Chains A and B, each alone.
Chain A
Amino acid sequence: MHTPDATAPPLLKVTNLSWSVASTAILQDIDFAIKAGQFIGLLGPNGAGKSSLLRCLYRYSKPQSGEVQFAGRNIWQLSADDYAKQVAVVLQEAPSQFNLSVYDVVSLGLTPHKSLFSATTKADQQVVLQAIEQVGLSHHLTQNFDSLSGGEKQRALIARSIVQGPKLLIMDEPTSHLDIKYQIQLMELAKSLNLTILASFHDLNLAASMCDQLLVLKQGQLVASGTPEQVITEKMLSDVFGVCAEVSQHPQSQQLQKAIPRITYFYGYQAGVNNGK
């Protein structure tokens, strides 16, 4: 992992971004920047605008005001193909009923790189096979994508984004619906790619342990940002997520030489029973 350089210009810079649907503001005045090499976690309760924000970043939604810059250029001034070569996205959507194999899905990552009518070369095939091996799906190569488990599907989609050869990888809740083993496996796989990553999370403990920086959204506004240690506080958990919790140090913090907050949730307080502190 290369360390974030304080002087380098940000890879992705969001300035004053606002986005609304039918005059309802979904995102308001979002400002942040991501440096190359960082792993950024995007947190927030349901409906806070996490997916909407990511959509504005991968050009699915066009913000009404504000600007998103990638490596110093407005993303809407780049061609769709050029942007797709720089930024890959892993989403929850998946094909069904159409019998695509794992190989087919992964090789779709070539799309922005190939012109019309150009054939898939031996070198392209090699890139695809290598990406599949990297995510550990070589033995599922010709298997139907639909028949994979949730974790394997996510890994196949990550392989597709490896083939895309991006600088930035955006993931929208990559770990939801996965067993804890696969959540950890998937995140460690993502970290091992040495890319800049922006991912939204449901599991705050997982985000706290995996990410270099965290962004917290509440009702379309960015309410906190910084290292996990700065962001994950009892006050933030109560203000943003409406839960009562205790934040302590993760036992692995010393071994990994970084401060990893650990959240312990309390239960039953909403019914008026406070059995916590």
Chain B
Amino acid sequence: MASKHTLAVIAALIIAVVSIFVALSFGAAPSKFIDVYHSISGQGHDSFIERIIWQLRMPRTLLAFLAGSGLAIAGLILQTVTRNPLADPYLFGISSGASFGVVCFITITGVSAGITMSAAAFVGSLVTMLLLVFIAGRTGRGQVETMLLAGVALSFLFSAFTSLLLYFSDPQAITAILFWTLGSFARAQWTTLWLPALVILSCTAVMMGFRRQLNAMLLGDESAVTLGIPVQRFRLLMLILSSLITAVLVAMCGGIGFVGLMIPHIVRFFVSQGTPSGLMMTALVGGTFMVWVDVLSRILLANQELPIGVITSAIGSVFFLSLLYFRKRES
């Protein structure tokens, strides 16, 4: 049994690595696999195309992979600790908080680009997260319901503030915020990549450590208590970790919907999340999916980039619906 799962993880890992390499050869400037190979193996970054691959496409593709796996993991964790199959990293108002931060920033400074805007988004989502943790931390029984309802309420609250600010600001800010909410990996750079990498890897490591406790949460709060888990504190910790992942990703790439909701369900169709490999598979599938979405966003329209969020939602929902349909027919 264990070996079968290990094989699946290894296969997913190979597919992920191959996907990243193949993805590097796609883009506006024509390139071949050999260019990718040269660029990565460091045999001189002389040619123009090799520099494009190393300086632009590589950080971008890595960010896409990180974002996909981070959102998928965060979604899986939130679905697990709330025992709600509809939970998703954005359900708890994190992206609304980020949008609000961005709009505030644009309104105050008039600047609508750069790393400071990401910082503003990060601050916005952190504020939302702290509010949510504060509310959920104060309730004892019924923590799940409080968390979900407070998350949705916060989400609406920040959306209202955002709309209000946008109503009084100029069209440029509205365009900027629209692009923000649709998501893009265009801002990826080697110099900032370490932050999402660090956050996602360390949070995922902690979650891997707690995988038994996470599965035990699925049995219900009472059963989890009888297995020795401090349920309320544990749920708060997981909420903080997944919010942290989401906040960093929203700040770097804007809002990318549907991945956090859908990937865990797709993986769950094939691999039981109770197995040690369940979490790994979710991360790998999420990352690989996002790498290909990014490729599509770059090549679907010539000399133009489609927003990531549009593609994830479009592909994701069709794929998910067909999976549901065929699964129903099978059983």
Q: A55-B222, A58-B225, A117-B209 are in contact. Are A103 and B1 (CB under 8 A)?
A: yes
Q: Which of A39-89 contact B (CB under 8 A)?
A: 55, 58-60, 79-85, 87-89
Chain B residue nearest to A95 in the complex (CB): B218
Contact status B216-A111, CB under 8 Å:
yes
Task: From B213, B215, B223, name the one whose CB has the most chain A CB atoms within 10 angstroms.
Answer: B223
A binding-site residues for B, Cβ under 8 Å = 55, 58-60, 79-85, 87-89, 91, 93-95, 97-101, 103-105, 107-112, 114, 116-117, 119-120, 125, 142, 164, 170
Interface flag for B298 (CB, 8 Å): no
Flag if B227 contacts A111 (CB, 8 Å): yes
Flag B7-36 by CB within 8 Å of A: 1 or 0 each: 000000000000000000000000000000
Give CA–CA (A206, B209) in the complex, Å: 43
**Is A87 touching B208 in the complex (CB atoms < 8 A)?**
no
B229 at the interface (CB under 8 A from A): yes
Q: Known: A111-B228, A112-B228, A116-B210. Is A89-B273 also a contact (CB below 8 A)? A: no
Nearest residue, chain B, Cβ from A172: B222
Of the candidates B80, B209, B228, B276, the one whose C-beta lies within 8 Å of that of A81 is: B228
A119–B79 Cα gap in the complex (Å)?
Answer: 24
Whether a CB of chain A sits under 8 angstroms from the CB of B275 is yes
- Find chain B residues with CB under 8 A from A109 CB: 227
Chain B interface size, as a band, is 20 to 34
- Taking a contact as CB atoms closer than 8 A, the residue among B216, B222, B228, B273 that contacts A99 in the complex is B273
Please indicate the chain B residues that have their CB under 8 angstroms from the CB of A97 in the complex.
85
Residue B220 at the chain A interface, CB threshold 8 Å: yes
Residues in A whose Cβ lies below 8 Å from that of B223: 89, 91, 93
Contact present for B268 and A98 (CB under 8 Å): yes
B216, A58: Cβ atoms closer than 8 Å: no
Nearest CB in chain A to that of B208: its residue: A117
Of the candidates B79, B208, B222, the one whose C-beta lies within 8 Å of that of A60 is B222
Q: Are A101 and B274 in contact (CB under 8 A)?
A: yes
Give Cα A55 to B223, complex, Å: 11
Inter-chain contact B219/A93, CB cutoff 8 Å: yes
CA gap between A103 and B269 in the complex, in Å = 17
Q: Which B residues between 197 and 224 are near A, CB-CB below 8 angstroms?
A: 208-210, 212-213, 215-216, 218-220, 222-223
Q: How near does chain B come to A274, taking the closest CB pair, in angstroms?
A: 43
Would you call B304 an interface residue if the criterion is a C-beta within 8 Å of the partner chain's C-beta atoms?
no
* Contacts from B to A (Cβ < 8 Å): 1-2, 79-80, 83, 85, 208-210, 212-213, 215-216, 218-220, 222-223, 225-230, 268-269, 272-276
Is B227's CB under 8 angstroms from A84's CB?
yes
List the A side residues contacting B218 at CB < 8 Å.
Answer: 95, 98, 100
Contact of A98 among B80, B229, B230 (CB under 8 A): B80
Say yes or no: B227 contacts A105, CB within 8 Å: no
Q: How far is the CB of A97 from chain B (nearest CB, A)?
A: 5
User: Chain A residues with Cβ under 8 A from B228's Cβ?
Assistant: 79-85, 111-112
Cross-interface CB contact of B227 among A103, A164, A170, cutoff 8 Å? A164
Complex contact B226–A84 (CB within 8 A): yes
Nearest A residue to B205 by beta-carbon distance?
A: A117
Contact B226 A87 (CB under 8 A): yes
With A101-B272, A117-B209 given, is the CB distance from A94 to B226 under 8 Å? Answer: no
Q: Which residues of A contact B79 (CB under 8 A)?
A: 98
Closest residue of chain A to B206, judged by CB?
A116
Q: What is the CA–CA distance of A59 and B225 in the complex, to the nearest angstrom?
A: 7
Give the chain B neighbours of A112 by CB distance below 8 A.
Answer: 227-228
Which residues does chain A contribute within 8 Å of B213, judged by CB atoms?
A: 111
Contact A104 B272 (CB under 8 A): yes
A83 cross-chain contacts in B, Cβ below 8 A: 228
A100 to B230, CA, bound (A): 22
Contact yes or no, B222 A93, CB < 8 A = yes
A104 touches B226 (CB 8 A): no
- State the Cβ distance, A44 to closest chain B Cβ, in Å: 19
Given contacts A108-B219, A112-B228, 19 further A-B contacts (CB under 8 A): A58-B222, A58-B226, A60-B222, A60-B225, A89-B222, A98-B85, A98-B273, A100-B215, A100-B272, A101-B272, A101-B274, A103-B1, A108-B215, A108-B274, A110-B212, A111-B212, A111-B227, A111-B229, A117-B208
22 A-B residue pairs with CB within 8 Å: A59-B225, A59-B226, A84-B226, A84-B227, A85-B228, A89-B222, A89-B226, A91-B222, A93-B219, A93-B220, A95-B220, A100-B215, A101-B274, A104-B215, A107-B274, A108-B274, A109-B227, A111-B216, A111-B228, A116-B209, A117-B208, A142-B1
Whole-angstrom CA separation of A17 from B329 in the bound complex: 54
Chain A residues with CB under 8 A of B210: 116
Q: How far is the CB of B217 from chain A (nearest CB, A)?
A: 9
* Nearest Cβ on chain B to A271's Cβ, whole angstroms: 40
The 5 closest A-B pairs by CB, nearest first: A104-B274, A84-B228, A93-B220, A89-B226, A116-B209
- State the Cβ distance, A13 to closest chain B Cβ, in Å: 19
B73–chain A nearest beta-carbon distance, Å: 16
CB neighbours of B230 from chain A (8 A): 80
Q: Smallest Cβ distance from B234 to chain A, in angstroms?
A: 10
